[in-house]
């Protein structure tokens, strides 16, 4: 269902807001990097690095459907720099947690994206 809700937020400011807000939702020691998408002005790319000895990285593409709703796509999971099969239960659990944290961050930024 299409939305009439306009989305007109400067992408660089949005990426900065995400970079500042996302760590509040992550587990202690996890790190996140938020980058603008060079093609889509409604999109951001997020890499989350797990804390501890696991050395895992999760890459997500986030696209604003409108000023309130985001679409999240997992684009890659790596362990020690090698792509891994994300279908195992532990990795699926982490993906679910991180997707929830991304949605929580988007909700926390509604004041920024919804004018």
First to last CA, the chain: 21
- Whether residue 90 is contained in a domain is answered as yes
Question: What pTM was estimated for this model as a whole?
Answer: 0.91
pLDDT of residue 1: 39
pLDDT of residue 6: 66
- Whether residue 37 is contained in a domain is answered as yes
pLDDT of residue 28: 86
Domain that holds residue 104: 25-109
- Whether residue 47 is contained in a domain is answered as yes
- Which residues pair with residue 71 across a beta bridge? 63
- Whether residue 96 is contained in a domain is answered as yes
Per-residue confidence in pLDDT tens, the chain, 115 aa? 344 456 788 999 999 999 999 999 998 899 999 999 999 999 999 999 998 777 899 999 999 998 889 999 999 999 988 999 889 998 999 999 999 999 999 999 999 888 6
Of 57, 91, 92, give the one whose Cα is nearest residue 76.
Answer: 57
- Whether residue 65 is contained in a domain is answered as yes
- Whether residue 31 is contained in a domain is answered as yes
Q: How far apart (Å, rounded) are the C-alpha atoms in residues 87 and 95?
A: 10
Task: State how many domains the chain has.
Answer: 1
pLDDT of residue 2: 44
């Amino acid at each position: 269902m299409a939305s009439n809700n306009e989305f007109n937020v400067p992408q660089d400011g949005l990426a900065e807001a995400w970079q500042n807000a996302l760590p509040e939702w992550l587990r202690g020691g996890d790190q996140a990097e938020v980058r603008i998408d060079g093609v889509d002005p409604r999109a951001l790319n997020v890499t989350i690095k797990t804390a501890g000895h696991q050395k895992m990285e999760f890459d997500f593409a986030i696209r604003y459907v409108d000023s309130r709703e985001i679409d999240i796509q997992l684009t890659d999971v790596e362990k020690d720099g090698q792509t891994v099969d994300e279908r195992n239960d532990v990795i699926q659990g982490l993906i679910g947690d991180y997707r929830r944290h991304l949605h929580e961050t988007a909700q926390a930024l509604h004041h920024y994206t919804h004018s």
